[in-house]
Structures are given as C-alpha cells and as structure tokens.
C-alpha cells in the first residue's frame, strides 16, 4: 500500500513569507508526528496528533509554528513569517493508534520523504 507522502518535496521561500507543508499519512494510521531535521543534525520533535487533536505541542519552537489535522488524515504544518533558521527538512511520520495506557508498546512510526524548506 501507499506510504506516508509529503508535499512539496522542496520549497524555497523568501524571509517573512508564510509556508504550508502537507502530510498524508498511511490510511488507518491515527497517530501523526512532525519532526524537523536541520542540516547535518538529528531529528527534533515538533508536534504529535492523535486523531485530530494534538495532545503534545511541546516541540513547536515558536508561536510562528502551528499545525492542524482534519478528518483524522491529512495534516498541515504552517510556518508564519519564515526566518532563515527555519531552513531544514521537515519530516512527517504516522503510526497506528498509541495504545492506552501510556507506556504500552509503541507502534512503529513510518516516515515520509520530507519537505526541504529553504528560506532565503
């Protein structure tokens, strides 16, 4: 079946402009994650959705960053007034529902190919 898809693959934008990054998770995966990977670095957690709600927004670096998810499927990460330090690869992942209670076996996260954002 289809994996996680992300669009656009690459995005170049001018400083100060807003950008929207899209993630289509695997069908049936109710958990969705956004990560940021700066050049030569590991992945940094941004936000997590269970269905349409985001119980954990702790990783969003500033109030310029926001994300939403509609219909329990597609998610959009929006960065307002982009800055050069926002340049990075933004990766999305999805997984089957996180089991309750927390601490039970986490299911594998399947990653998309990422969106490379360049702010000039």
Partner 1 sequence: AQTVTQSQPEMSVQEAETVTLSCTYDTSESDYYLFWYKQPPSRQMILVIRQEAYKQQNATENRFSVNFQKAAKSFSLKISDSQLGDAAMYFCALNNAGNMLTFGGGTRLMVKP
Residues that bind partner 1 (CB under 8 A): 33, 35, 40-45, 48, 55-56, 59, 89, 91, 93, 98-99, 102-106, 108-109, 111-114, 116
Identity of the residue, 19 or 92, whose beta carbon is nearer to partner 1 in the bound complex: 92
Identity of the residue, 5 or 13, whose beta carbon is nearer to partner 1 in the bound complex: 5
Q: Are the CB atoms for 3 and 92 separated by under 8 Å?
A: no
Identity of the residue, 16 or 106, whose beta carbon is nearer to partner 1 in the bound complex: 106
The Cα–Cα gap between 119 and 112 comes to 21
Please provide the DSSP assignment of 16-31 as one string: T--EEEEEEPPTT--E
The Cα–Cα gap between 15 and 23 comes to 23
Question: At closest approach, how far in Å is the CB of 102 from partner 1?
Answer: 5
């Amino acid at each position: 079946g289809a994996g996680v898809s992300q669009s656009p693959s690459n995005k170049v934008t001018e400083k100060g402009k807003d950008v929207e990054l899209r993630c289509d998770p695997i069908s049936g995966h109710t958990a969705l994650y956004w990560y940021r990977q700066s050049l030569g670095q590991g992945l940094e957690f941004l936000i997590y959705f269970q269905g349409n709600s985001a119980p954990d927004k702790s990783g969003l670096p500033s109030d310029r960053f926001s994300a939403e998810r509609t219909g329990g499927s597609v998610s959009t990460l929006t960065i307002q007034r982009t800055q050069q330090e926002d340049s990075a690869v933004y990766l999305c992942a999805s997984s089957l529902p996180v089991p309750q209670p927390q601490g039970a076996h986490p299911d594998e996260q399947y990653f998309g190919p990422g969106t490379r954002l360049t702010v000039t």
